[in-house]
């Protein structure tokens, strides 16, 4: 789930056409969810019956998979997405303080999107950058050693 | 009997024949390969603690309570997901396992309310049992951590409550909905600590895809899913095994009781028709038995314009008998008759026809099968020699191809549909022949390979086209036909269907089915392996209903799809005891066991036992009775448990016939629509209030057991007996088992049937006699009952009911899942939450032309009559076709249907009526007049105050 993109507005017919292209795949549900999210920025609840209908699944089937994966969103994210690592190694290198600082600076809590839609802050659990934590992804790009000036610099990139 | 606690072996049985030997806790156990360690342990009486496992579902391995130690294997594998192996040494109880299990239970209980004493599941909770089994004494984690104890209960479903605070997320409900019911309405939402059971998209159950079959409630090991009745009343104390009184599937239930109060109906795993499954009707919709509108006192009146007067049983019976006697004296022996009910027991049905034949002295007896499956009886008898389906329901588990014709199993026969869908999900192929896109055509995880959306009324043309392809493309099973069937007749038939006029290309013009679809379907049916046909009233209720049944039989014979598992010709019977009512001699031309009344030998047996002379001439069928009444020759009718005014076609004609009679006796639970024209009302009893037997669609004879005293005072068989005695023909049965003994003595196919045998075996499928003492699951195994299978010609003749400028649309009718037949029972239950009116399905194109939008009131008019109802705009029906149900008397859909009927049996042509639909702003004249008549005729006089 990389960079936030200028996504197109929700359109049911377009969504059905996108899902229909996945029908022939083996295990088409995940690719269908990905393409919907990539196109519309999220998988809104109204997409679920469409995906279910086209793939001949129940709405519950789709809902279960959709909600299992944290990276699928049911509402649009902010224009930028900051994913801060909250796993053990980063914790050992001070990520809790860093996250608290980010929350204060951005005026939101982990898991939230700012009301102006500028940014979404999420926790992730290990980016494989354990040796240089605290680490984070901003719109899919990695940032490391996020303390002090480096963290301040990141925040200026999030909210110029 | 005490409360039945069915054994749960944890995982389903293995079908393997190879036997494996292993040691569990020092004992040697033999079990089929593929059996789980858990199930093998249960076979030797060892219960391994478990929560997520139950033997109706595949093993899942999530609860981690059923861990065992196995020599030579690392760790502690779950016994539910571990198959047994030769020489395996298993220990189910060790200090290490005890510690692990206790630890797991501590985690469960740390997020579970500790309100066992006030919990509805107290005494019926597997979590509670397991806490005891593992010796839980403390929860080291305490109860202060994050938990789900404040989660709100979902009480949207009228029959059960979902309380997530009591849920352990074992997924049993989700798996039951998927594996058993096949609706896939439930899922686990989220992951980890946030995991919770979700109906569809985290919705209340009533707004989800749930069909309220109850499988999840049954599977739940805690109080998370609990019947509302259990919450309201408490746990039951005894069970009685009985048979459902709704559709022809014939599910076996445990009626769980508190004294004479029914607490819940739970499907019984030993039930051979349902195998432990149920639907919303049988499981939950039994409240009508105690509905306030039930009539409990007999009533009489001189004229239908008078109010009813409550009288004693003896006065009501004496009045009815004197009227019948008077009418016969004045108008002749044949001026009266009777109608038996497919909802009553075999014994009761037998008594009514006995009363008519012996008491009235004529053969004017008929039954509601006249209007549903009489063509099945005629067609299958003519071709195979037996008026019944060829298979048991289990047979579907062996089908490679399933062809559904004119049936809607997911609504009409839901429990069998679930079994069929299980097989379809395993890979069986599906052909659907139906004007509507029924659910089976495409429903989650099931998709028909071919749907033939034919124009209503063209079944025979489509079946002939299928036969044409099979014959002309060389797909006939010639070895089977030469060995089992009459070769000469086959050749005549093959030549006839091979004619170009029967080709799919030629018939497309009137069937509307693309020829290539017909060809592919024919090839699949003929060459896809064991192929079964299941059909319903969409086949029989036509002017060529019998022809279509014969055409189906021809197809099965030509392809060798008879006399083996997985194949066959299977009518899905509408009502619980349609098969039985037909078997019991309810038709005017047939004695029990389908022997013609003109057969001197058969009649002689009855005459000898009953000591009375029987008429050798067939009597009147229901439509003949009504015609004769209108003409003034038929004056008196005894109707047990059938509402002909609502269920029979051309309502205005039925009303005119009834109104012309001098004595109409209605025996029923409620003042039904027919009772608006009755002079005597005899309160009937429900299936919960009497003993007897029902025979389901697979010829399975099953016991109905009395679980409570009849609120009206008598079982229906006792009422018929009183009436017969008052008429001077003596009956003196003290129990329905004596009636079955008489049936067995008079009916060769029932010779081996007795209540004692049914109690012992659970059920038997007829023929049950010396040759087949335990009954006959699959018929025609080594040859047809009639000798050689008989191919008969089935020329397509278009119905006279044609669309034209005045009536440009074709109406076809059916039913919905939550309602049953005329709705007398289900309309008086909470099932109205799903469906509380009849709706007219109309295609968007037809709707647009008429300016009809979804939900608009429309009038529905044919040359027979006119009614009004609300429209639902849907592509489920093809352009030019409209569809409705007949569950609600305020609609009276049969006002519109016509007098046309099957050429052989008079089965009405319900499925094809030319109609017009128009916007409307209210009820029609007929509805207004009828509703006024209903109000007037339902008045009950208040007793005069005593001086």
Query: Taking CA atoms, what residue in A is nearest to B448?
Result: A56
Quick one: pLDDT at residue B821?
87
B202–chain A Cβ distance below 8 A for any pair: yes
Nearest-Cα residue of chain B relative to residue A58? B444
pLDDT given for residue B947 in this prediction: 57
User: What pLDDT, on the 0 to 100 scale, is given for residue B946?
Assistant: 60
In this structure, the number of other CB atoms found within 10 A of the CB of residue B117 comes to 6
Query: Considering the domain boundaries, does residue B751 fall inside one?
Result: no
Instruction: Based on the fold, state whether residues B396 and B358 are members of the same structural domain.
Output: no
User: Average pLDDT for residues B435-459, to the nearest whole number?
Assistant: 96
Cβ of A27 under 8 Å from any chain B Cβ? Answer: no
pLDDT band at B822 (very low <50, low <70, confident <90, very high): confident
Determine, yes or no, domain membership for B539.
yes
| ipTM for this prediction | 0.92
Mean pLDDT of B334-357: 96
Looking only at the bridges linking them, the beta strands covering B401-405 and B429-433 are parallel
Q: Are residues B398 and B449 in the same domain?
A: yes
pLDDT digits (tens, 9 = 90+) for B377-405: 999 999 999 888 999 999 999 999 999 99
Name the token pair of B894: 């049969």
Domain of residue B441, CATH code: 3.40.228.10
pLDDT digits (tens, 9 = 90+) for A32-78: 999 999 999 999 999 999 999 999 999 999 999 999 999 999 999 99
Residues of B whose CB is below 8 A from A59:
200-201, 208-209
Mutation target vs A (from B181, B187, B195, B198; most A CBs, 10 A cutoff)? B187
Whether residue B665 is found in the same domain as residue B713 = yes
Interface test with B, best of A23, A49, A53, A60 (most B CBs within 10 A): A60
H-helix segments, B150-275:
172-175, 215-219, 228-233
Number of structural domains found in chain B: 4
- B855 CB contacts (<8 Å, ≥6 apart)? B870, B871, B872
Say yes or no: B331 and B425 in one domain.
Answer: no
- Cβ–Cβ of B189/A56 closer than 8 Å? no
Whether B942 is in a domain gets the answer no
- Whether B561 and B664 map to the same domain: the answer is no
| Of B188, B191, B209, Cβ closest to residue A59 | B209
Do B432 and B479 sit in the same domain of this protein? yes
Q: Is A64 on the interface with B (CB under 8 A)?
A: yes
Maximum average pLDDT range among A4-8, B70-74, B138-142: B70-74
For residue B39, give its domain range: 1-93
Whether B193 contacts chain A with CB within 8 A: no
Q: Do B198 and A60 touch (CB under 8 A)?
A: yes
The rounded radius of gyration (Å) of the Cα atoms in chain B is: 29
C-alpha distances (whole Å) from B35 to each of A84, B31, B90 are 48, 7, 14
Is A128 an interface residue toward B (CB < 8 Å)?
no
- Looking at the fold, whether B849 and B725 belong to one and the same domain comes out as no
Chain B nearest C-alpha distance from A120 (Å): 20
A43 reaches B (C-beta below 8 A): no
Instruction: Give the residue ranges of DSSP H helices in B407-477.
Output: 409-412, 414-425, 459-472
Q: Does residue B276 lie in a domain region?
A: no
Distance CA A36, CA A10 (A): 9
Q: What's the average model confidence in pLDDT over B231-250?
A: 96
Q: Do A60 and B185 touch (CB under 8 A)?
A: yes
Q: Which of A58, A62, A111 to mutate to test the interface with B (most CBs of B within 10 A)?
A: A58
**Chain A interface includes B21 (CB < 8 A):** no
pLDDT tens by residue, A117-149? 999 999 999 999 999 989 999 999 999 999 999
**pLDDT score, position B890:** 87
Element housing B884 (H / E) = strand B881-885
Q: Is B315 on the interface with A (CB under 8 A)?
A: no
Task: Compute the nearest-CA separation of A69 from chain B (Å).
Answer: 8
Are B881 and B819 part of one and the same domain? yes
* Contact across the interface for B444 and A61, Cβ inside 8 Å: yes
Q: Could you tell me if B634 and B661 are in contact, meaning their C-beta atoms sit under 8 angstroms apart?
A: yes
Tens digits of per-residue pLDDT, B696-726? 999 999 999 999 999 999 999 999 999 999 9
Distance from C-alpha of B867 to C-alpha of A80, rounded to nearest angstrom: 61
**Secondary-structure breakdown of chain A: helix, strand, coil percentages, each rounded to the nearest 5:** 45, 10, 45
Q: B46, B9 in Cβ contact below 8 A?
A: no
The pLDDT of residue B491 is above 70: yes
List the single residue in B190, B200, B446 with the smallest CB-CB distance to A59. Answer: B200
Same domain, B596 and B555: no
The answer to whether B217 and B162 have CB atoms below 8 angstroms apart is: no
Comparing alpha-carbon positions, the chain B residue that sits nearest to A70 is B190
Structural domain contains residue B749: no
Gap between the Cα atoms of B711 and B684, Å rounded: 9
Confirm whether B835 is domain-assigned.
Answer: yes
Contact yes or no for A58 and B190 at CB 8 A: no
Enumerate the β-bridge partners of residue B638.
Answer: B338, B665
B724/B687 same-domain check:
yes
Q: What is the pLDDT of residues B137-183, one digit of tens each?
A: 999 998 888 999 999 999 999 999 999 999 999 999 999 999 999 99
Residues B939-946: contacts with CB under 8 Å, at least 24 apart:
B939/B307, B939/B308, B940/B299, B940/B307, B940/B308, B940/B309, B940/B310, B941/B307, B941/B308, B941/B309, B941/B310, B943/B310
Convert the pLDDT of each residue in B829-879 to its tens digit.
999 999 999 999 999 999 999 999 999 999 999 999 999 999 999 999 999
Beta partners for residue B695, in sequence order: B701
Please tell me the distance from the alpha carbon of residue B60 to that of residue B855, in angstroms, as a whole number.
Answer: 45
Residue B73 counted as domain residue? yes
Query: Residue A5 has what pLDDT?
Result: 53
B445 touches chain A (CB under 8 A): yes
- pLDDT (tens digit per residue) in B128-146: 999 999 999 999 998 888 9
**Closest to B512 measured CA to CA, from B453, B560, B468:** B453
Q: Which of A56, A63, A64 sits opposite B445 (nearest CB)?
A: A56
Helix, strand or coil, per DSSP, at residue B517: helix
Q: Does B208 touch chain A (CB under 8 A)?
A: yes
């Amino acid at each position: 789930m990389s960079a936030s993109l200028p996504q197109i507005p929700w359109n049911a017919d377009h969504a059905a056409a996108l899902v229909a292209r996945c029908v022939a795949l083996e295990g088409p549900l995940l690719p269908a969810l990905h393409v919907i999210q990539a196109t519309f920025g999220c998988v809104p609840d109204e997409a679920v019956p469409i995906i279910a209908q086209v793939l001949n699944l129940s709405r519950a089937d789709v809902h279960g998979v959709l909600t299992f994966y944290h990276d699928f969103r049911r509402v649009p994210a902010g224009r930028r997405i900051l994913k801060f690592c909250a796993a053990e190694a980063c914790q050992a290198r001070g990520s809790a303080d860093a996250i608290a600082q980010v929350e204060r600076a951005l005026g939101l809590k982990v898991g939230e999107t700012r009301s102006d839609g500028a940014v979404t802050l999420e926790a992730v659990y290990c980016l494989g950058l354990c040796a240089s934590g605290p680490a984070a992804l901003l719109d899919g790009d990695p940032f490391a050693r996020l303390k002090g000036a480096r963290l301040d610099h990141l925040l200026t990139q999030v909210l110029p | 009997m005490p409360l039945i606690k069915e054994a749960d072996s944890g995982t389903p049985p293995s079908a393997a024949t190879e036997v494996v030997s292993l040691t569990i806790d020092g004992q040697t156990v033999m079990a089929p390969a593929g059996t789980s360690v858990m199930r093998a342990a249960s076979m030797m009486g060892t219960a391994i603690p478990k929560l997520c496992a139950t033997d109706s579902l595949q093993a899942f391995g999530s609860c981690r309570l059923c861990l065992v130690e196995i020599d030579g294997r690392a760790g502690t594998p779950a016994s539910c997901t571990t198959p047994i192996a030769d020489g395996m040494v298993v220990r189910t109880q060790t200090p290490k396992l005890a510690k692990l299990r206790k630890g797991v239970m501590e985690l469960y209980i740390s997020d579970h309310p500790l309100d066992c004493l006030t919990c509805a599941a107290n005494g019926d909770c597997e979590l509670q049992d397991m806490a005891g089994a593992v010796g839980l004494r403390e929860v080291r984690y305490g109860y202060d951590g994050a938990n789900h104890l404040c989660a709100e209960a979902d009480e949207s479903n009228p029959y059960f409550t979902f309380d997530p605070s009591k849920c352990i997320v074992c997924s049993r409900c989700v798996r039951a909905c998927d594996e058993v019911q096949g609706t896939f309405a439930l899922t686990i939402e989220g992951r980890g600590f946030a995991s919770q059971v979700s109906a569809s998209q985290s919705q209340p159950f009533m707004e989800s895809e749930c069909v309220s079959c109850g499988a999840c409630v049954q599977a739940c090991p805690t109080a998370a899913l609990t019947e509302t009745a259990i919450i309201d009343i408490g746990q039951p104390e005894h069970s009685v095994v009985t048979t459902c009184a709704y559709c022809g599937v014939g599910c076996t239930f445990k009626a769980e009781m508190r004294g004479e109060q029914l607490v819940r109906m739970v499907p019984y795993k030993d039930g051979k028709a349902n195998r432990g499954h149920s639907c919303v009707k049988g499981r939950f919709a039994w409240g009508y038995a105690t509905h306030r509108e039930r009539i409990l006192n007999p009533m009489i009146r001189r004229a239908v314009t008078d109010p009813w007067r409550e009288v004693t049983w003896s006065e009501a019976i004496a009045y009815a008998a004197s009227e019948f006697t008077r009418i016969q004296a004045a108008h002749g022996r044949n001026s009266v008759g009777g109608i038996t009910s497919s909802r009553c027991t075999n014994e009761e049905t037998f008594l009514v026809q006995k009363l008519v034949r012996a008491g009235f002295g004529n053969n004017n007896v008929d039954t509601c099968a006249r209007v549903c499956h009489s063509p099945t009886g005629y067609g299958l008898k003519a071709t195979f020699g037996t008026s019944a389906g060829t298979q048991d329901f289990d047979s579907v588990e062996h089908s490679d191809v399933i062809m559904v014709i004119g049936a809607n199993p997911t609504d009409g026969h839901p429990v069998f549909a679930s079994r069929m869908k299980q097989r379809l999900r395993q890979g069986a192929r599906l052909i659907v022949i139906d004007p509507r896109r029924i659910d089976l055509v495409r429903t989650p995880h099931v998709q028909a390979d071919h749907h033939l959306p034919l124009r209503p009324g063209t079944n025979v043309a489509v079946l002939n086209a299928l036969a044409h392809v099979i014959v002309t493309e060389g797909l006939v099973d010639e070895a089977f036909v030469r060995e089992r069937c009459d070769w000469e007749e086959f050749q005549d038939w093959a030549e006839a269907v091979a004619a170009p006029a029967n080709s799919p290309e030629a018939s497309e013009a009137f069937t509307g089915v693309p020829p290539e679809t017909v060809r592919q379907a024919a090839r699949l049916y003929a060459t896809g392996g064991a192929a079964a046909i299941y059909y319903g009233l969409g086949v029989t209720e036509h002017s060529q209903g019998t022809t279509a049944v014969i055409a189906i039989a021809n197809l099965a014979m030509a392809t060798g799809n008879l006399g083996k598992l997985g194949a066959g010709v299977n009518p899905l019977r509408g009502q619980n005891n349609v098969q039985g009512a037909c078997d019991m001699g309810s038709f005017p031309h047939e004695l029990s066991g389908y022997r013609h009344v003109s057969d001197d030998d058969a009649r002689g047996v009855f005459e000898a036992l009953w000591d009375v002379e029987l008429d050798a001439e067939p009597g009147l069928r229901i439509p003949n009775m009504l015609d004769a009444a209108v003409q003034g020759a038929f004056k008196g009718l005894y109707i047990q448990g059938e509402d002909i005014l609502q269920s029979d076609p051309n309502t205005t004609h039925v009303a005119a016939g009834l109104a012309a009679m001098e004595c109409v006796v209605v025996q029923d639970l409620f003042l039904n629509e027919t009772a608006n024209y009755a002079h005597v009302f005899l309160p009937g009893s429900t299936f919960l209030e009497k003993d007897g037997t029902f025979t389901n669609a697979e010829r399975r004879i099953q016991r109905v057991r009395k679980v409570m005293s009849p609120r009206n005072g008598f079982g229906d068989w006792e009422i018929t007996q009183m009436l017969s005695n008052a008429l001077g023909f003596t009956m003196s049965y003290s129990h329905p088992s004596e009636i079955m003994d008489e049936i067995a003595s008079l009916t060769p196919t029932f010779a081996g049937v007795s209540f004692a045998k049914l109690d012992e075996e659970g059920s038997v499928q007829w023929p049950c006699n010396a040759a087949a003492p335990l009954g006959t699951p699959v018929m025609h195994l080594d040859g047809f009952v009639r000798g050689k299978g008989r191919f008969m010609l089935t020329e397509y003749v278009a119905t006279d009911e044609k669309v034209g400028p005045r009536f440009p649309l074709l109406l076809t009718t059916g039913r919905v899942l939550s309602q049953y037949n005329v709705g007398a029972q289900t309309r008086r239950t909470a099932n109205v939450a799903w469906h509380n009116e009849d709706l007219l399905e109309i295609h968007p194109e037809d709707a647009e032309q008429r300016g009809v939008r979804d939900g608009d009131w429309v009038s529905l008019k044919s040359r027979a009559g006119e009614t009004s109802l609300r429209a639902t705009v849907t592509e489920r029906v093809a352009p030019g076709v409209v569809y409705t149900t007949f569950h609600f008397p305020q609609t009276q859909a049969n006002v519109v249907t016509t007098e046309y009927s099957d050429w052989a049996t008079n089965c009405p042509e319900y499925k094809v009526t030319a109609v017009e639909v128009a916007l409307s702003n209210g009820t029609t004249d007929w509805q207004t007049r009828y509703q006024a008549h209903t109000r007037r005729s339902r008045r009950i006089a208040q007793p005069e105050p005593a001086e």
